[in-house]
Amino acid sequence: MQVRRARSTVVLFDGAALGIYNFLTGQALKCDHRCLEFLLQFENWRSVESVFESFDYEPASVARELFQLIEARILVVLGTEDGDRDLEFERNWEWGAVAGLYHFGIRGWQFSSGDEVAAWIQGRMKEVPFPQLYRTHDQSSAVVALPPLLDSQFHDLSESRRSRRQFSNELIRLEQLSQCLAAGLGITAFIEDPVLGKLPLKPTPSGGALNPYEAFVYSIRVQGLESGVYHYSALQHSLCPVQARASPLRPSDYLGNQPWTDGAAAVIFLVAHFDRTMWKYTNPNAYRVVLIEAGHIAQNILLAAAEQQLAAAPTAAIYDRLVEDALALDSITQAAIYAIVVGNRSEGDLVVRDTNSGLP
């Protein structure tokens, strides 16, 4: 049996003790300096027999330490599921432990219910003052007043965009969904790079024109489209069914148990393909670039939804593992970063805007 230290482990302070944390599996183990010295011997694959030969401790003590570290998934065994996943991480995740700790460490989060959040906010208000949400120039004598905004269709559209979470039970038209997908991810042209060749251009900016995002649609009530999960091809402007690893669930099961999402006609998942950006940008700062791009794409989709008179709202409350099974994703190099929920507007969904403050 061959074992080694998992490539996704970091050492953190846990109070007065040390903790070894495998951010790929989410498991942690408290340890002392002797445990760390033990782990230092497992940088590369080695046989269990050689472990007993290398240490002067009692074999029973070495066996207990070895078993504990394997059980905690800090050491991985070659040929097992954990060992294979560790090898995949080593081959394909090029941004190291800094970005990896954040990216994989936030997965599997358990989201609170609406009532729990409301109770927490009430308690929070008593302990910490609510922050000011905008800055003014009231105290400055060097203010430059800008010209009034010009009348334009764009400003009218952007002002009409609001996050709407109330939906009717009516089907949305396939044409409406089509407009949203093209606005966010459609390929508008190509440019020729002297080294990389033909690169696609899209309605939103992308680092190096690498466009790491693909869209997946969970169709629930779309006219002319069966219920199920589809991949959107930006090049062909078409949808293709996905062979999911699990049966479809309610939208709220994927989206942080938020009841309002169950009224949706469709959910658009924005899935990052990190390997595209990693190939050119090996600095972990590129991870931030990929996350930013999701916001660019989502805003275009939301504006298109507003133009189509649809109700739409974004959410990042995503149960990663369930979504990965539904979309058949590679959990190392692909991840659902953002979701846009769309549907027909409910008759009672009225948004009143104060034209002076710009607030809903």
Do residues 168 and 344 lie in contact, with contact meaning Cβ atoms separated by under 8 Å? yes
**76 found inside a domain:** yes
16 band by pLDDT with thresholds 50, 70 and 90: confident
Are 217 and 326 in a shared domain?
Answer: yes
**134 found inside a domain:** no
**109 found inside a domain:** no
Q: Say which residues have a Cβ less than 8 Å from residue 133's Cβ, sequence separation at least 6.
A: none
The 10s digit of each residue's pLDDT in 64-74 is 889 999 999 99
The answer, yes or no, to whether residue 226 has pLDDT greater than 70, is yes
Q: Say which residues have a Cβ less than 8 Å from residue 70's Cβ, sequence separation at least 6.
A: 3, 76, 77
Domain boundary among the residues 59, 92, 125 is at: 92
**147 found inside a domain:** no
Are 207 and 302 in a shared domain?
Answer: yes
Residue 280 tokens, joined: 């050119």
Buried b (16+ CB within 10 A) or exposed e, 326-340: bbebebbbbbbbbbb
What is the DSSP code string of 53-108?
HH--S-HHHHHHHHHHHHHTTSEEETTSHHHHHHHHHHHH--SHHHHHHHHHHTTT
Give the span between the Cα atoms of 301 and 265, in whole angstroms. 15
Which strands make up the sheet holding 75-77, listed edge to edge?
A: 46-47, 2-5, 75-77
The 10s digit of each residue's pLDDT in 127-160 is 999 999 999 999 999 999 999 988 899 988 998 8
Q: Say which residues have a Cβ less than 8 Å from residue 196's Cβ, sequence separation at least 6.
A: none
DSSP letter (8 states) at residue 345: B
Residue 277 structural domain: 153-344
Are 203 and 336 in a shared domain?
Answer: yes
Are 204 and 309 in a shared domain?
Answer: yes
Top-confidence residue, 110 or 311: 311
Are 64 and 191 in a shared domain?
Answer: no
Are 208 and 294 in a shared domain?
Answer: yes
- pTM of the shown model: 0.90
Number of domains in the chain: 2
Top-confidence residue, 78 or 352: 78
What is the DSSP code string of 111-169?
PPPHHHHHHHHHHHHHHSPPPP-----TT-S---PPPPPPP-HHHHHHHH------B-S
Say which CATH number the domain at 158 has.
Answer: 3.40.109.10
**192 found inside a domain:** yes
**355 found inside a domain:** no
CA-derived radius of gyration, the chain: 25
Residue reference for tokens 């189509």: 308
Are 66 and 169 in a shared domain?
Answer: no
Cα 88 to Cα 1, 24, 67, 118: the distances in Å are 19, 11, 23, 41
**360 found inside a domain:** no
Are 81 and 175 in a shared domain?
Answer: no
Top-confidence residue, 235 or 353: 235
The 10s digit of each residue's pLDDT in 41-98 is 999 999 988 888 877 778 888 888 899 999 999 999 999 999 999 999 999 999 999 9
Domain boundary among the residues 52, 67, 92 is at: 92
Are 162 and 286 in a shared domain?
Answer: yes
Are 167 and 305 in a shared domain?
Answer: yes
Say which CATH number the domain at 61 has.
Answer: 3.90.930.60
Are 201 and 278 in a shared domain?
Answer: yes
**117 found inside a domain:** no
Are 204 and 313 in a shared domain?
Answer: yes
Domain boundary among the residues 70, 92, 114 is at: 92
The answer, yes or no, to whether residue 337 has pLDDT greater than 50, is yes
